[in-house]
Amino acid sequence: MYLTHALHRALQQAPDRTMTVCGDRVRTTREVVDRVARLAAAFQGLGVNVDDRVGLLALNSDHHQEFFFASWWMGAVAHPLNTRWAAAEIAYALTDSGTEVLLVDDSFAALGPELRERAPVLQTLVYCGDGPTPEGMLNYEELLAAFEPVPDLRRGGDNVAFLLYTGGTTGTPKGVRVTDRGLQTSMMSSLITTGAALPDGVNLLTAPLFHIGALTGWYAQNLVGGTLVFLPKFTPEGALEAIKEHRVTSTTLVPVMVQMICNHPDLGSYDLSGVQRVTYGGAGSPESLLRLAMKVFPTARFTQGYGMTETCVLTSLNHEDHVRGGARLRSAGRATPAIELAVVGKDGQRLPVGEVGEVVTRGDHLMAGYWDKPELTAQTVRDGWLHTGDGGYLDEDGYLYIVDRLKDMIITGGENVYSAEVENAVAAHSAVASCVVIGVPDDHWGERVHAVIVLKPGHTATPEEIRAHAKTLIAGYKTPRTVEFVDSMPLSAAGKILKRELRAARANG
């Protein structure tokens, strides 16, 4: 198996099908493959060697399709950069990874001089925007025109496909090396279970393509063959329009996107009946939101994935229960074929059904390790098992329930409280748009259960109403003792709420 297989298969089976759509730009398989082989030649011409990293700093576009496949075509590692990071963070990732060639679009071209300054490793900037080429940069289209297609090196197996820097919700950024085998295993296993990308389907790519959840959705659609619709930035209108115009069959959304679509005032005027698959990332989405989303996309099968960059997005998948609209909606799902999943205690021994411990996973889906961090890799992957740092338990049918990040668990008055459970109870209140529960230091309780809440527009609620509501769903000791209303939550680049920031700001109780 090799990384560019999807292109060759599409060329054999659907050479004139539309492969990419990006605004007004529409390209067939044949056109994309030609451009990929030229861009690969350009990378070689710019001095990129096999296993070197090539960077892309851009909003979602058809350039992503060409960039990823061209990197693999000539043996390089694709390094898509986090578009929500500050210049210093981007420069860190470029320097740490030794990325010498970087593509930038119109949104990031102005950052060029600062990046050069902060990351002297950077040799070449390639501008893939629509305006005049900034000084000191090469032009993407001119490069494609100047270079003749080169043969595909057909790299795969244990070769690294992506270098992805993570660090959104935890500590220092680190580069995760995602292999060809990891991608294949993860995507084949999840496609068997969910069919999340439909053969010959149309996939809307609106989640940012530097995040593993978005990247695997993109890869899966290529694997089975189909059309990729790139949306530069998520807006509910943009997504709804694209779904209508391109008859989208599959998409990947993060919870906040689902929420924005569900809350959109003109929702009723859009025909969403063509959407057959919705994958949404991140365990612990409020059940109430999911139930609403299932009404908004009435013909879609919902898939909830639990995983992370280090596990190539996969650890468990839940869709059977979504199909049945069943009682396990809150579960992160079960291990898929070829993936091992277990819950272990501090001694590494497997725990019985129902007991909370650390979630671990083993299989070919795991990363090849962190970039240049052998010690951290060795701490994270032990005896072949990747330690997720998440607390959870399995039920008697192998369904996984994530209760919390291990370090997010609250100990209050000697009792363990899982913030996710409390969040779910609070979020079920009709006035609550989103909610985070953290432990804050407390003289009496050790830690106190504290809720931070964003209300829905036009809704009101008092702390007492929230507490009274929560008490109808969870035990008294789990109910937030204090409740705080805020206008918005701090979000990571991938759209996840940054709990550590909320916690840090309340470290004095």
Binding residues vs a copy of itself (CB under 8 A): 1, 5-6, 8-9, 12-15, 184-185, 188-189, 191-193, 195, 199, 223-224, 320, 334-335, 337-338, 340-341, 363-364, 394, 396-398
The least CB distance from residue 14 to a copy of itself, in Å, is 7
The least CB distance from residue 38 to a copy of itself, in Å, is 21
Q: Distance between CA 194 and CA 34 in Å, rounded?
A: 32
Q: Which is nearer to a copy of itself, 14 or 376 (CB)?
A: 14
In contact, 343 and 392? CB cutoff 8 Å: yes
The least CB distance from residue 15 to a copy of itself, in Å, is 8
Alpha helices in 230-369 (DSSP H): 236-246, 255-262, 287-296, 320-324
Q: Which is nearer to a copy of itself, 243 or 343 (CB)?
A: 343
Beta-sheet strands, E only, within 383-481: 385-394, 400-405, 410-412, 415-417, 432-442, 446-455
Q: Which is nearer to a copy of itself, 375 or 397 (CB)?
A: 397
The least CB distance from residue 223 to a copy of itself, in Å, is 5
Residue type, 218: W
How, if at all, do strands 385-394 and 381-382 pair? antiparallel
Give me the count of residues in the chain: 509
Q: Which is nearer to a copy of itself, 199 or 325 (CB)?
A: 199
The least CB distance from residue 32 to a copy of itself, in Å, is 16
Contacts of 470 (CB under 8 A, 6+ apart): 422, 425, 426, 429, 451, 478, 479, 480
Contacts of 176 (CB under 8 A, 6+ apart): 162, 163, 164, 165, 166, 212, 309, 310, 367, 370, 371
The least CB distance from residue 332 to a copy of itself, in Å, is 14
The least CB distance from residue 234 to a copy of itself, in Å, is 28
Q: Which is nearer to a copy of itself, 168 or 226 (CB)?
A: 226
Q: Distance between CA 217 and CA 236 in Å, rounded?
A: 19
The least CB distance from residue 374 to a copy of itself, in Å, is 23
Q: Which is nearer to a copy of itself, 320 or 501 (CB)?
A: 320
Q: Which is nearer to a copy of itself, 142 or 395 (CB)?
A: 395
Residue type, 117: E
The least CB distance from residue 177 to a copy of itself, in Å, is 19
Find the radius of gyration of the CA atoms of the chain.
23
Find where tokens 């009404």 sit: 295
Nearest to 62 by CA among 39, 89, 82: 39
Q: Which is nearer to a copy of itself, 188 or 212 (CB)?
A: 188
Q: Which is nearer to a copy of itself, 363 or 495 (CB)?
A: 363
Alpha helices in 227-364 (DSSP H): 236-246, 255-262, 287-296, 320-324
Task: Give the CA-trace dihedral at 212, 213, 219, 224, to 10 degrees.
Answer: 150
Task: Give the CA-trace dihedral at 52, 101, 218, 226, to 10 degrees.
Answer: -100
